[in-house]
Structure 1
Amino acid sequence: MFEFFWNLGSFILALGILVTVHEYGHFWVARKAGVEVLRFSIGFGKPLFKWHDKLGTEYVIALIPLGGYVKMLDARVDTVPADKQHLAFDSKPVLSKIAIVSAGPIANFLFAIFALAVMYMIGVQNVKPVVGGVAEHSRAATANFLPGDHILQLGDKAVSSWQEVTFGLMSHLGEQEVQVKVQDAENKIQLRTIALNGWKLDKQDEAPLQSIGIEPFRPALTLTLGHIQTGSAADKAGLKVGDTIVSINEIDVVDWQSLVDKIKVSAKQPLRFSIRRASNVQLLTVIPEAKQMSDGRSIGYLGVVPQLEKWPNGYIETRQYGPLDSMVLGIKKTYELISLSFDMIGNLITGQVSVKNLSGPVGIAVGAGNSVSYGIVAFLSFLALISVNLGVFNLLPLPVLDGGHLMYYIIELIRKKPVSEKTQELGFKVGALLLIALTCFALLNDVSRL
């Protein structure tokens, strides 16, 4: 229950920040263009808080935190007095309308630059991209990747973290191959060529690295507990962080995987745990919970995470930059994220990426909760990624989104006359149906992951 409310609170915080940024972009440019703003709302439905400024704009924080809007004076939907005609949105030149509509996505991109710049100034911790394992008969195995390979460059871009390797791979979707420069376990520079013809991300939640057969290096798991989920079977049995599992039912536990295998087949069955706590050995009775899987199976679940052995020297590095370098890196990273987002939309349309990988509010909530748990740097990175995606999504040419409005105004700019109201109304209805269908599909994907 705590995890649910933590994720919900993190989701509301993250979405509230990003929606406020987006709508403030529209609001600020609208006022600069001489448009009267009637309402600035964060959320929909019943107002929880509201107030007015000296210019008469009503500010609202509403009950349903799934978006927001800026309501402007507009003769197409309101009765506008003659003395206020010049303040109405519809009376402004088409270039002013384009500026107002595009300001929301642009604000999201600027916020991403800011969030990333702050992140780089605080300091970013990276794990060196060293291959830990290679799946048999995979694309990586065919390319002769070996455990211990340190990935230095993917295509024409140098990489220093697994995130950069992952994003780099995704940017090459649809290509025939990609060359990867590595430093092997003997410190020799090698070139590996990964064949990408026919490569698709067509399985739900399958990571790009996993789909080509690369497993990142991780220190070995120990039998010492590093985290215990509140309210779990382990918590109820009295297990504590720092306990080391010695045996189960008088049979020695040799490694973490054997412990996992035993727990999985022991749902609702009492197990006699022998544990080492400090310098003492204690006996505890543990009854694993039954966890229902998506395929209908029920497996045992303990609710613990093991400690890892120490990372080898040099495998984790923290990079911290000054304000100017951080800003430059923020701009560069935001540009890469925007390009990648548009590429992924294209790959969704062509089928290179399965629609099963779409996430909705539930997926965002879990991501927000996890990133908050990992600290401010992870949360800033998450905010930047979602902000870019929100900006790109709003630029899609669906009439209910900013991109649809931009499409109409660009057509108006070219034709020297506005698109007919009948055509716009039809476009809004079709766009709304498509948006609802997309949202429902993303929610179904989220539910299937729970």
Structure 2
Amino acid sequence: MLAFLWNLGAFILALGILVTVHEYGHFWVARKAGVKVLRFSIGFGKPLIKWYDKLGTEYVIALIPLGGYVKMLDGRVEEVSAQEHHLAFNNKPVSRRIAIVAAGPIANFLFAIIALAAMYMIGVQSVKPVVGEVTPASRAAAANLSSQDLILSVNEQVVTDWQDVNFALMAALGESQLVLKVKDAHNALQIRQVYIQGWKLDQQDVPPLQSLGITPFRPAITTEVAQVGSQSAAEQAGIMVGDRLLAVNGEAFSDWFDFVKVIKNSPEQPLTLQVARNNQTLDLVATPSAQTDNDGNRIGVLGVAPRMENWPTEYIETRHYGPLDSIVLGGQKTWELITLSFDMIGNLLTGQVSVKNLSGPVGIAVGAGNSVSYGLVAFLSFLALISVNLGVFNLLPLPVLDGGHLMYYIIELIRKKPVSEKTQELGFKLGAMLLLALTCFALMNDVARL
């Protein structure tokens, strides 16, 4: 329950920030274009807080925090007096209407630049992309990629961490090969050619690295207990943080994963655990509780987490940048995210990426909660990513989105007359149905991940 509330709170905070930025873009340009703004609302439904400014605009924070809107004076929606005819949105030149509609997504892109620039100025700590393991008979193995290889570039694009590598891999979908420049375990520069003809991300939640057969380096997991769950089977058995697990029912195990395998295969079965504590060896009796995994199998759960060895200092890099360099880097990264987002939409349409990888509000909430847990820098990075996705999504040519309105206004600009109201109404209905179907599908994916 605590995790749910944490994720929910982080989701509302993140969505509130991004929706405010998006709608303020529309609001600010509408004011500059001479359009009267009637309401600026964050959220839908019953107003929780509202106030007015000197120009008569109503500001609202509403009950349902799943979006927002800017209501402008518009003769197509309500009657407009002769005195305010010049203040109505529909009476403005098409160029101004295009500017007002485009301002929302543009505001999201500008916010991403600012968030990333702030992140770079604070300092970014990242893990160098060092290969941990290579899956036998995989595409990576066929390219002779090896453990301890440090990836320096992907298709001549310099990479400094695993996020860079993942983005570069996704951008390469549909190509025939990847050219990786690496530094091997002997510090020698090598070129690895990974053939990716026919490579697709067609499985749910299987990241690009894993599908190519690459496992990033991670410090070794020890058999020392780092956490004990409250009211868990481990706590009831007397297991304590710092205990080193040695054997189960008199049989020693080689690593943590062997221990986990025994526990999973022993739901509600008493086990004698041998542990080392303060230079003593103790025998404790623990009965793993029973749970059902995602495949419907009954497994045992003890309620402990292991300690990992420390990261090698040479694998961790912290980078700080000045204000000007941070803004430039923020702009470059934002452009990369925009182009990547459009590429992913294209890959979804062509089947290169499975629609099973779509994520909805639940997935965003979990991501927001996790990023907040990792600190301000991670949260800023998350906000920038979602802000770009929100901006790109709103540019899709669906009539209920900004992109759909832009499509109509661009047609009007070319034809010198507006699209008929009947055509627009039909487009809005179809767009709403498509958007609802897409949202439902993304929610179903989220539920399947729980």
**TM-score calculated relative to the size of structure 2:** 0.96
2:133 alignment partner, SS class? strand
User: d(CA) in 1 for partners of 2:141 and 2:397?
Assistant: 41
Counterpart code for 1:78? E
Q: Structure 1 stretch 332-341 or stretch 121-130: which is displaced more?
A: 121-130
User: d(CA) in 2 for partners of 1:443 and 1:161?
Assistant: 30
1:385 alignment partner in structure 2: 385
2:209 alignment partner in structure 1: 209
1:40 aligns with 2:40: yes
1:225 alignment partner in structure 2: 225
Cα 1:229–1:104, aligned 2, differ >3 Å: closer, same or farther? farther
Q: CA deviation at 1:308?
A: 1.3
Counterpart code for 2:411? I
Q: CA RMSD in A?
A: 1.6
User: d(CA) in 2 for partners of 1:403 and 1:366?
Assistant: 28
1:446 aligns with 2:442: no
Deviations for 1:168-210, whole angstroms, at most 9, x for unmatched residues?
Answer: 1110000011211111112111111111110000000001000
User: d(CA) in 1 for partners of 2:427 and 2:281?
Assistant: 70
**Structure 2 unmatched runs, 5+:** none
Deviations for 1:212-244, whole angstroms, at most 9, x for unmatched residues?
Answer: 001111111011233445555445555444333
User: d(CA) in 1 for partners of 2:235 and 2:336?
Assistant: 43
1:77 alignment partner in structure 2: 77
2:100 alignment partner in structure 1: 100
User: d(CA) in 2 for partners of 1:237 and 1:75?
Assistant: 72
2:131 alignment partner in structure 1: 131
Deviations for 1:274-296, whole angstroms, at most 9, x for unmatched residues?
Answer: 43445555554433333322322
User: d(CA) in 1 for partners of 2:200 and 2:105?
Assistant: 29
User: d(CA) in 2 for partners of 1:236 and 1:331?
Assistant: 53
Counterpart code for 2:55? L
1:349 alignment partner in structure 2: 349
Cα 1:365–1:153, aligned 2, differ >3 Å: closer, same or farther? same
1:28 aligns with 2:28: yes
Q: Structure 1 stretch 292-301 or stretch 371-380: which is displaced more?
A: 292-301
Counterpart code for 1:120? Y
1:440 alignment partner, SS class? helix
2:174 alignment partner in structure 1: 174
1:327 alignment partner in structure 2: 327
User: d(CA) in 2 for partners of 1:311 and 1:383?
Assistant: 27
**Structure 1 unmatched runs, 5+:** none
Q: What is the correspondence of 1:338-417 to structure 2 with a 5 Å cutoff?
A: 338-417=338-417
User: d(CA) in 2 for partners of 1:289 and 1:143?
Assistant: 44
1:337 alignment partner in structure 2: 337
2:156 alignment partner in structure 1: 156
User: d(CA) in 1 for partners of 2:230 and 2:83?
Assistant: 63
User: d(CA) in 2 for partners of 1:293 and 1:47?
Assistant: 42
User: d(CA) in 2 for partners of 1:313 and 1:188?
Assistant: 20
1:65 aligns with 2:65: yes
Deviations for 1:269-328, whole angstroms, at most 9, x for unmatched residues?
Answer: 333334344555555443333332232212223343322112223111111111111111
1:261 alignment partner in structure 2: 261
1:310 aligns with 2:336: no
Q: Structure 1 stretch 319-328 or stretch 303-312: which is displaced more?
A: 303-312
1:298 alignment partner in structure 2: 298
Cα 1:368–1:90, aligned 2, differ >3 Å: closer, same or farther? same
User: d(CA) in 2 for partners of 1:188 and 1:305?
Assistant: 38
2:313 alignment partner, SS class? coil
User: d(CA) in 2 for partners of 1:25 and 1:282?
Assistant: 65
User: d(CA) in 1 for partners of 2:304 and 2:419?
Assistant: 60
1:314 alignment partner, SS class? helix
User: d(CA) in 2 for partners of 1:286 and 1:424?
Assistant: 66
Cα 1:395–1:235, aligned 2, differ >3 Å: closer, same or farther? farther
User: d(CA) in 2 for partners of 1:304 and 1:16?
Assistant: 36
User: d(CA) in 2 for partners of 1:371 and 1:157?
Assistant: 26
User: d(CA) in 1 for partners of 2:217 and 2:419?
Assistant: 56
2:290 alignment partner, SS class? strand
Structure 1 vs Structure 2: percent identity of aligned residues?
69
2:54 alignment partner, SS class? coil
1:432 aligns with 2:423: no
Cα 1:254–1:415, aligned 2, differ >3 Å: closer, same or farther? same
Cα 1:240–1:2, aligned 2, differ >3 Å: closer, same or farther? farther
Cα 1:184–1:91, aligned 2, differ >3 Å: closer, same or farther? same
Cα 1:49–1:149, aligned 2, differ >3 Å: closer, same or farther? same
User: d(CA) in 2 for partners of 1:227 and 1:364?
Assistant: 27
**TM-score calculated relative to the size of structure 1:** 0.96
Q: CA deviation at 1:63?
A: 1.4
Cα 1:388–1:233, aligned 2, differ >3 Å: closer, same or farther? farther
1:270 alignment partner in structure 2: 270
2:219 alignment partner, SS class? coil
User: d(CA) in 2 for partners of 1:138 and 1:359?
Assistant: 27
